[in-house]
Structure 1
């Protein structure tokens, strides 16, 4: 039987994962997932571990639904309030999308700038300002927060186990930053899924997830693997049209609740 064996959210894009026992799914994916983002203060362009591997040491946790707690080694914790409706809007860019979103204020900007060693700002995205998912793979009205492109990412545990065997060492699932981990399927079985159900929620499988250099970062230490693994191995057998794929991007067909251990049903 297939079951939901892992459930994660990332309140702040590119910061430490938060493992969950249960979660709500809203119009943008896991409730509270990637609703905050760090951007360059001058350009507004999004900042991630690709450029700043020290973000692997940055933790952000929701405190209720209106505050975010920032923590990092050597830094005093900072509690950041959800920006008010009349907060200053900041022009930001994430990949090809440009949008205006509320800025979280000076205290958060100073804290993050000190931690990351560059001038940056913290921004938050309310549902009303969410981005349209790529229409080539989604329906009009499908929205996403600050996730790279899609609301949810699923990876099969069997796929990671197979990759670990090929690389020759155990790999952490969090290198790949999934929201959902499914146990009980053959390696890469998720490549062929089109629709699945978990609990009462149905999900459409939009497309495979293309991977980048972030997969070579140890999710705990932030150190980059000298042998470029696991990306080097993935390139040998998971490359297609110049992209390396691992995991599947999903779009939820509604809202509801997920609980760790729920059965997963393949509908199509």
Structure 2
């Protein structure tokens, strides 16, 4: 097995970027989902209720995150000194508000009052304690620093669909090639290059998988979620991919060997 592709998501629920390698820091992949969008009630905003966010692209230039908002232009995201508690799922955590220009442009695009916020180094959000006994932190990702998916599983799913979908529907960080379909169900520990990953839970999927990343529109037929639900439903929900945590700082790259350590 090997790493087929790697992705970063500088802003939660905006378009991700394909990268050739990334470095792990204390949060997870460096720069991954340190930015988020909130509404007027300080609640997180995602493609679940704003599918058009898929059309807002991101980039990292000179260690700065930029966003390109249709009809508005490109903006550099800059944290200010204004801080407040914001909510992502059940967690409240301290975040710094972004500069007004980008937030105002995104508000016009969405037709609603939204704000970019940033998770600073001194803000701590804990990975779910019922899954990971160590006190580990996570960024604004849904719950864990990493999502690992298997290309063969997507290929098998696509054989069941009238209209095949791309892996980016599932927003992974690491895509593995060379495994059997759904082999990831049995992975508990992977060595990726020199890095050790613990795969702590299956990833339950939601309506975001029905959003076309190119158009920002939800599929009227609810695919591929509907088909997944016919044969991939478990106590954890309709699953595709595995949530993971890394064990140490380091770098992984496309092409790195992937070894299943579960059976050793």
State if a TM-score over 0.5 links the two structures: yes
CA drift at 1:171: 1.3
For the residues of structure 1 that align with 2:165 and 2:102, how far apart are their CA atoms? 33
Please show how residues 151-190 of structure 1 align to structure 2 within 5 Å. 151-190=145-184
Q: Please list every run of 5 or more consecutive structure 1 residues that lacks an aligned counterpart in the other structure.
A: none
For the residues of structure 2 that align with 1:55 and 1:205, how far apart are their CA atoms? 29
Deviation per residue, 1:153-184 (Å, 9 max, x gap): 00000100011011233211000000000000
SS in 2 for 1:111: helix
SS in 1 for 2:196: strand
Provide the aligned C-alpha RMSD in A.
Answer: 1.2
CA drift at 1:140: 2.9
SS in 1 for 2:135: coil
Paired position in structure 1 for 2:136: 142
Number of aligned positions between the proteins: 262
For the residues of structure 2 that align with 1:90 and 1:107, how far apart are their CA atoms? 19
Tell whether 2:235 aligns with 1:241: yes
Q: Any runs of at least 4 consecutive aligned residues in structure 1 with deviations exceeding 4 A, and if so which? A: none
With over 3 angstroms needed to count, the CA separation of the structure-2 counterparts of 1:96 and 1:226, relative to structure 1, is same
For the residues of structure 2 that align with 1:134 and 1:234, how far apart are their CA atoms? 25
For the residues of structure 1 that align with 2:61 and 2:120, how far apart are their CA atoms? 17
For the residues of structure 2 that align with 1:127 and 1:140, how far apart are their CA atoms? 19
Tell whether 2:71 aligns with 1:77: no
For the residues of structure 2 that align with 1:157 and 1:10, how far apart are their CA atoms? 19
For the residues of structure 2 that align with 1:118 and 1:62, how far apart are their CA atoms? 26
Paired position in structure 2 for 1:225: 219
SS in 2 for 1:245: strand
SS in 2 for 1:186: coil
Alignment equivalent of 1:259, drawn from 235, 253, 259: 253
TM-score normalised to structure 1 length = 0.95
CA drift at 1:76: 1.9
Could you tell me whether the CA contact under 8 Å between 2:29 and 2:146 is conserved in 1?
A: yes
Q: Please list every run of 5 or more consecutive structure 2 residues that lacks an aligned counterpart in the other structure.
A: none
Alignment equivalent of 2:190, drawn from 187, 192, 196: 196
Could you tell me whether the CA contact under 8 Å between 1:132 and 1:140 is conserved in 2?
A: no
CA drift at 1:242: 6.8
